[in-house]
Amino acid sequence: MTSIYLSLRPKSNRLYKIKEIYYTLQGEGFHSGRPAVFVRFSGCNLWSGREEDRADAICDFCDTDFRGTDGPLGGSYSAVDLAKTIQNLWPGGIRPFIVCTGGEPLLQLDQPLVQTLKQADIEIAIETNGTITAPDGIDWICVSPKAGSEVVQRTGSELKLVYPQAFIQPEEVADWDFTHYYLQPMQNAQWENNTKATVDYCKAHPQWRLSLQSHKYINIP
């Protein structure tokens, strides 16, 4: 790893605000079960993260704490330091795989950071609401559209729609240019009914596959 670190050169002086960084298994979607370093960027453009603002938020069902930088390994990072931290968490053996998430990671994840991570031979996946165009070089783009938002990133690897949402239906996004299409039951007080509805929709429309948040079942981050 040392030779990789010494070869890294900063592409900008920007500092990236990170809520938390941790090594775990991806719990949902196409890469479910795959070891990954999660990099949770602070901030979102569809909800402030404050409970008092939830009722008026575009994404009012978010279950993630993305405010601030106070989580495990949270802080303000240069691109090079972030790449080093990811490498230090990875156990080795194969190329590191990271999931950039949030909040909304594309508020911060830019071309200089992507270039630095690629220079460190890191495979980059992103989970985004699709309201900001992704920079070039990201290996896996997962878009999870939210009703009431303007989605501009309509191409990628994986479309993952939380279901049901009152004002966005799967058929409205089924012709977007993605390789894989997933429906994920909304986890709220109606979770059992939502899960049945999701299963029924996938069975009736085989373009879609069921995504479950397996990390919550086995109690890992």
Order of all β-strands in the sheet with 140-143: 75-77, 16-25, 35-41, 97-101, 123-128, 140-143, 155-163, 177-185, 209-210
C-alpha torsion sign, points 18, 72, 83, 32: negative
Assign domain 2-217 one CATH number from 3.20.20.70, 1.10.600.10, 2.120.10.30, 3.40.640.10: 3.20.20.70
Characterize the bridge pairing of strands 16-25 and 75-77. Answer: antiparallel
- pTM more than 0.85: yes
Catalytic sites, residue numbers = 38, 44, 59, 62-64, 127, 215
Tens digits of residue pLDDT in 51-65 = 999 999 999 999 999
Quick count: other Cβ atoms within 10 Å of Cβ 193?
Answer: 13
Q: Average pLDDT of each block of 10 consecutive residues along the chain (221 residues)?
A: 54 92 97 98 98 96 96 98 98 96 98 97 98 98 97 98 96 98 95 97 98 91 89
pLDDT of residue 112: 97
Tens digits of residue pLDDT in 33-85 = 999 999 999 999 999 999 999 999 999 999 999 999 999 999 999 999 999 99
